[in-house]
């Protein structure tokens, strides 16, 4: 019957669309954290090459001591730290945050006053993590190293900004290790 065939076609078409939407979401969303993933970040890089903003801010961060937390308390605990970090980032910056690998996160943003926005973001992240660690006894505290690089674009690539922020993040990591007597 024609009506049954049409209904089957419509249902099949709707199911295909739903599956395609799910696949697209999976291609851009990190399954552990719900943040955008490296694929989405790479799409932003492509768009940036076509039309760069006047000013740009990049914040690069990673968790301190994740390997030790995984080795001591198990990978489930390490995943919990990564998920909690992602929740904090989503709360602070919304969809501007990306998990680009393991315990590495990037926040990319534009604003007229990028330096002030970067300071507010970094302060908010650090304060939220401090409160998180103080509220409950944790077997392993959540700590991050953060590097923020902001500037006028002046023909620089997004990779240039990421490299500068990464260098600053490693300097911050070095200071954390030195402060904790690891170096």
Q: How confident is the model over 158-178, as pLDDT tens digits?
A: 889 999 999 999 999 998 877
Q: DSSP character for 32?
A: T
Q: Is the pLDDT score of 81 beyond 80?
A: yes
**Residue 121 CB neighbour total at 10 angstroms:** 21
User: What span, in angstroms and rounded, lies between the C-alpha atoms of 149 and 43?
Assistant: 20
Q: Who wins on pLDDT, 139 or 30?
A: 30
Q: DSSP character for 51?
A: S
Nearest CA-CA partner of 92 in 64, 120, 62:
120
pTM value? 0.82
User: What span, in angstroms and rounded, lies between the C-alpha atoms of 53 and 109?
Assistant: 10
């Amino acid at each position: 019957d024609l009506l049954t065939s049409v209904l089957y076609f419509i249902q099949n078409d709707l199911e295909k669309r739903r599956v395609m939407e799910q696949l697209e979401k999976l291609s851009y969303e990190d399954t552990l954290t719900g943040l955008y993933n490296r694929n989405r970040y790479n799409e932003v890089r492509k768009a940036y090459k076509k039309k760069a903003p006047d000013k740009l801010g990049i914040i690069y961060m990673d968790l301190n001591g994740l390997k030790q937390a995984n080795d001591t308390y198990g990978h489930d605990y390490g995943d919990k730290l990564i998920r909690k970090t992602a929740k904090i980032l989503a709360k602070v910056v919304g969809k501007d945050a990306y998990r680009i690998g393991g315990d590495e996160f990037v926040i990319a943003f534009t604003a007229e006053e990028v330096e002030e926005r970067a300071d507010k973001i970094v302060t908010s992240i650090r304060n939220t993590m401090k409160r998180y660690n103080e509220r409950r006894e944790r077997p392993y505290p959540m700590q991050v190293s953060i590097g923020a690089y902001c500037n006028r674009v002046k023909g620089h690539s997004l990779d240039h900004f990421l490299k500068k922020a990464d260098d600053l993040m490693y300097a911050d990591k070095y200071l954390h290790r030195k402060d904790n007597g690891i170096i």
